[in-house]
Amino acid sequence: MNELFPFQVEPLPYPYDALEPAISQETLHFHHDKHYKTYVDNLNGILSDFPKLQNMTLEDMLIHIKDLPEDIQTGIRNNGGGVYNHQLYFQCMQGDGFSMPEGDLSNAIHKDFESIDNFCRILTNTAIKQFGSGYAWLTFEKGKLTIVGSANQDTPVTETIRPLLCIDVWEHAYYLQYQNRRADYVSNWLPLINWNYVNQLYEAAQG
């Protein structure tokens, strides 16, 4: 992640057709090259007028959003969140093969959700029931995994809450293929989770 202004569009860590058939390359081109890029451009546009904020990391801006100048808080929440959330979303999918949680992360999922199946069920329900645009997340805080939803481009990140994975349920993430069938998108998305990447974030979150 290019952490400081000017933020850049991170290339996908896999080819555009790597997530087919669950996510088509057409969807991925629009989502990554247009929607995500717009958030990057808008964020840079806002920050270009605030040189003092240009040495803050994106995560610091989002965590301390209430300390930012009042007239740009909404813009940073929407566009900074849009950059942060999309970076995690694209990174936590994998194009080659299928993975499962292993080791400590697998143990933690069993401890906090009883089983992988139950974890998938709760994540699915959270994603399907998110009203309007938003995300469903797996987060880690103080030794505990939690699944939460968020609206728009809000992100659950704080000093202590570490996001580990997210599924984007904005219509732009699935509408070209699935139209109104968000549940089908979510069920096809679950096998795309890059658990090796999630595990790296989980290990980093242990501190």
Residue ranges binding Mn ion (CB under 5 A)? 168, 170
The residue among 170 and 189 lying less far from Mn ion, judged by its C-beta, is 170
Q: Which is nearer to Mn ion, 113 or 170 (CB)?
A: 170
Buried b (16+ CB within 10 A) or exposed e, 172-187: ebbebbbeeebeebbe
- Of the pair 168, 201, the CB lying nearest Mn ion is at 168
CB of 169 to Mn ion, least distance (A): 9
Q: Which long-range contacts (CB under 8 A, 24 or more apart) does 74-80 make?
A: 75/42, 75/46, 76/43, 76/46, 77/153, 77/154, 78/39, 78/42, 78/152, 78/153, 79/39, 79/42, 79/43, 79/46, 79/153, 80/39, 80/43
Min CB(81)–Mn ion separation in Å: 11
Identity of the residue, 170 or 202, whose beta carbon is nearer to Mn ion in the bound complex:
170
Structure tokens at 166: 């997210």
**Structural contact between residues 9 and 36, judged by C-beta atoms closer than 8 angstroms:** yes
CB of 107 to Mn ion, least distance (A): 32
Q: Beta strand 162-168 with 134-141: parallel, antiparallel or unpaired?
A: antiparallel
Q: Which two tokens stand for residue 47?
A: 């920050």
For the CB of residue 29, give the shortest distance to Mn ion in the complex, in Å: 13
Q: Which DSSP string do the residues of 114-137 spell out, in sequence order?
A: SSHHHHHHHHHHHHHH--SSEEEE
Least distance in angstroms from the C-beta of 170 to Mn ion: 5
Residue nearest to Mn ion (CB): 168
Query: Would you say 80 or 168 has its CB closer to Mn ion?
Result: 168
Q: Least separation, in Å, of the C-beta of 173 and Mn ion?
A: 5
32 or 162: CB nearest Mn ion: 32
